Structure 1
């Protein structure tokens, strides 16, 4: 699938309904781990979709910057931010070509960012690391290959899923606080609904 086709696919999915495809409540893993982010810290939420996670984090008093490729999703995210009375810096961009800043964020949040192919993934993961300030935290949740058996959301290719060995190798430069594989029922709109094969990562960039 070409990048243009992939972008069009996501735009079409978000534009097809006024409803929030993945709901308006934050991801459960993120909500449980948000206490790790420094109070008032600067946060990057990548591929933030319709804003459920970015808006949640802004509601905690964090300085939130979200990047999303689909204009229809950003429009919904702006509406959600207005409804919740919070300020979020929204940016429309393709993360594969975005000018990633260096050591700019106290936290980087990557929730189900599995649009990235196996070939694209090493550079993408490296960007997540470099964007963190020393001492900053990476909060990442994704699907394991077993998710293809559940068919309750996520990628259609096992190569786009995560394994424990993959994340250990990719984020070896960080201090891994927690790496947890588990199955759980997910309730995130129509897009993620039902028993799911998950993997959660909490990792810190070492202090300078």
Structure 2
């Protein structure tokens, strides 16, 4: 996937409004919390979080996506820190954020996904919250978005195994209708997974 080409147009490929999952779950974050959004894209989720009073740092590999993010932030009158980053080589900070978001980050095959999960876990402070949301393996039966490769899709069993020892705050595998720009449109099979990092080091991403 060439993400620069996908995000080069004037339209926002996934729309400009946050995903419904984030609207439902953001109540868990205190105003002023430091949040890292991984593979944020054109900014719809990061900009909305900033408007709720959160301090957001958005990572993405695509310069056109980050430019559109900043344009959207300016339009909405908020500030979002952005960083162009190759996530295959990214040096993750240590215990820097109150929350980390991975929303529709299913470009990663299993080996890279495991590395991303380890990095996201490292970036969270103890007691910090990880928000994961994306497509279930059942999404292969739909045409509303997401990769057409089963190994890049998620199951709750896989996510629970990846974060053994973490406290599960919310989980779900369900169907819903998406209306998120041209990229996510129609009936979809979705996964929610919200977990709290242990205060001690025994719970680590695998």
Fold conserved between structures, TM > 0.5: yes
* Distance (whole Å) between structure 1 residues aligned to residue 130 and residue 149 of structure 2: 25
1:13 matched to 2:12? The reply is: no
Q: Output the TM-score relative to the length of structure 2.
A: 0.95
Give the deviation of 1:176 after TM superposition.
1.1
* Distance (whole Å) between structure 2 residues aligned to residue 70 and residue 131 of structure 1: 21
Give the deviation of 1:123 after TM superposition.
1.4
**Correspondence for 2:149 among 140, 143, 157:** 157
**Correspondence for 2:125 among 133, 139, 150:** 133
Q: What pairs with 1:55-66 in structure 2 (closer than 5 Å)?
A: 55-66=47-58
Structure 1 residue runs without a partner (length 5+): 1-5
Deviations along 1:51-75, one digit per CA (max 9) or x if unpaired, are 0000011101111000000111111
Q: What pairs with 1:7-46 in structure 2 (closer than 5 Å)?
A: 9-15=2-8, 17-46=9-38
Please report the RMSD computed on the Cα atoms of aligned residues, expressed in angstroms.
0.9
* Distance (whole Å) between structure 2 residues aligned to residue 93 and residue 169 of structure 1: 27
Give the deviation of 1:50 after TM superposition.
0.3
Question: Would you say the 8 A contact 2:101–2:131 is kept in 1?
Answer: yes
**Correspondence for 1:187 among 179, 183, 203:** 179
Cross-structure match for 2:66? 74
* Distance (whole Å) between structure 2 residues aligned to residue 156 and residue 11 of structure 1: 20
**Secondary structure of 1:119 counterpart:** helix
Give the deviation of 1:178 after TM superposition.
1.5
Deviating runs (4+, > 3 A) in structure 1? none
Deviations along 1:145-193, one digit per CA (max 9) or x if unpaired, are 1111101100110110001110010011311112110010011101001
Question: Would you say the 8 A contact 1:135–1:206 is kept in 2?
Answer: yes
Cross-structure match for 2:81? 89
Give the deviation of 1:90 after TM superposition.
0.6
* Distance (whole Å) between structure 1 residues aligned to residue 35 and residue 125 of structure 2: 10
Cross-structure match for 1:167? 159
